[in-house]
Amino acid sequence: MSGLAYLGVAVAMAAVLSTLLWLVQRKPTSFMSSIDEFRAEMDALGREPGDPPPATRPRRRPTVRPEPLVPAPRRGDLARKLRAARQQAPRPDEGR
């Protein structure tokens, strides 16, 4: 074999190996993967070395509903007010 053939085999092997390494070590590119990676880093920085890992269950929303600031109007109250306002308002064609 000539020197050029050895060089071609070496270049082909290097290309195949570098492609395999790129595929194996490639980071995920989804939106959530970067958020998950950031959360994992913050969890690692926030714990002491001897602490157990944090629980992974989701947090529940509180079941107590807050009291409204303004009481709800009676049923049909808004419709009644709108009808009364329409009856009192002058029509556009009557003003002439």
Domain membership of residue 66 (yes or no) is no
Residue 61 CB-half CA count within 13 A: 4
By residue range, what is the domain housing residue 8? Answer: 1-46
Evaluate whether residue 68 is within a structural domain: no
**List of residues 6+ apart from 43 with CB closer than 8 A:** 53, 54
Asked if residue 55 is part of any domain, the answer here is no
Residue 11 lies in a domain: yes
- Which tens digits make up the pLDDT trace of 37-95? 888 888 878 767 777 776 666 667 667 777 777 766 667 677 778 888 888 877 767 65
Alpha-carbon gap, residue 42 to 26, rounded angstroms: 22
54 lies in some domain: no
Say if 63 falls within a structural domain: no
pTM score of the predicted model: 0.32
* Domain count for the chain: 1
Q: Is residue 74 part of a domain?
A: no
Largest Cα separation within the chain, whole Å, is: 106
* 6 in a structural domain: yes
Per-residue pLDDT tens over the stretch 1-41: 688 899 999 999 999 999 998 888 877 777 788 888 888 88
Q: Is 49 helix (H, G, I), strand (E, B) or coil?
A: coil
